[in-house]
Amino acid sequence: MKLIMFDIDGTLTQTCKIDEVCFVQALSDLFGFADIDTDWATYPHASDSGVLEALFQSRLGRSPLPAEISECKTHFFSLLTEATAAQPFNSIAGAGGILVALTCNPAFGVSLASGAWECSARLKLASAGLDASPLPAAFSDDVEARESIMQTSLARAVQAHAGASFDSVIYIGDAVWDARASRNLGFQFIGIAHEPARVEKLYSGGASHVFPNYLDARAFLSALDA
C-alpha cells in the first residue's frame, strides 16, 4: 500500500493568494508588523507557526506567547471567513474526484500534511467543497517544520490503518519547500503547478511529475503507480 499525502493551499484548494493576504493583514492588525516578506521559501519553516515565530524573533527578539498565537489564529480565521463569505474558495480542478478515487482504492492510503493552521485549513477545504474530514492529517498547530508535519501525518495514517506499514509515501505539493521536505524525508514528490517557471522549479526540486490539476485522472493515477 502506498500513502498519498496532500498539501492543501495550491494543491487541493486555490487559496494561496487569499491565504497570504489575510495572514499578512492579521499580522499587521494585531502586532503592527509591516513590510512582511511573503516569499515563504526564505523562512526557516514555511508554515503558519514557523513564519510567526521567525517574525517575532526578527522584530521583537522573542517567541510569540501562547495567547498571541491563539489571537493570531482567531483573527486570521475571521478574515478568511469574511473572504469566503464574499467569494467561496475554489478547489484545484478535479481535486474532489481524485480524493474520492484514492480513498476508494485499497492500494492507497490518503492523508493531509499542511503548513496551515488546522482551523484555516479546514475552512478552506469546506469552502472549496472538499470533504477531507475523515482523512488523517497534520497541521502547523502540531509542529513548525514541514518535515515534522509530514512525519506526523504519516504516523497518524499508520494509526488510522491499524498499524499497517506503507511501501512508499508520495507527497503532492505545489511549492519548492514541499519538494525539499520530500527529498529530505525520502518521500517521492509530485508537483501541482501550471506556471512554466513554477513547473521548472518543481522538476528541479525533484518532482517525478508535475500536473496543472487533476482533470486527467488516468495520467495522475498512472504517475502514482510509476
Segment-wise mean pLDDT, segments of 10 residues, the chain, 226 residues: 96 91 96 95 94 97 98 97 93 96 94 97 96 94 96 96 89 96 97 96 96 97 92
- Other CB atoms within a 10 A radius of the CB of residue 204 amount to 10
**Cβ-based burial of 15 (10 A; exposed 0-12, middle 13-18, buried ≥19):** buried
**Cβ-based burial of 66 (10 A; exposed 0-12, middle 13-18, buried ≥19):** exposed
Q: What angle do CA 10, 64, 138 make, to 5 degrees?
A: 40
Residue with grid cell 522584530, as numbered in its chain: 59
- Residue 33 to residue 155: CA distance in whole angstroms: 36
Looking at residue 148, its pLDDT comes to 97
CB contact at 8 A, 130 and 91: yes
Looking at residue 102, its pLDDT comes to 96
CB contact at 8 A, 124 and 45: no
Ordered DSSP codes for 54-89: HHHHHHHSSPPPHHHHHHHHHHHHHHHHHHHHHS--
Q: For the chain, which residues make up each domain, given as ranges?
A: 2-15+89-225, 16-86
Looking at residue 93, its pLDDT comes to 97
Indicate the pTM of the whole model.
0.94
Looking at residue 77, its pLDDT comes to 97
CATH class of 2-15+89-225: alpha beta
Looking at residue 164, its pLDDT comes to 79
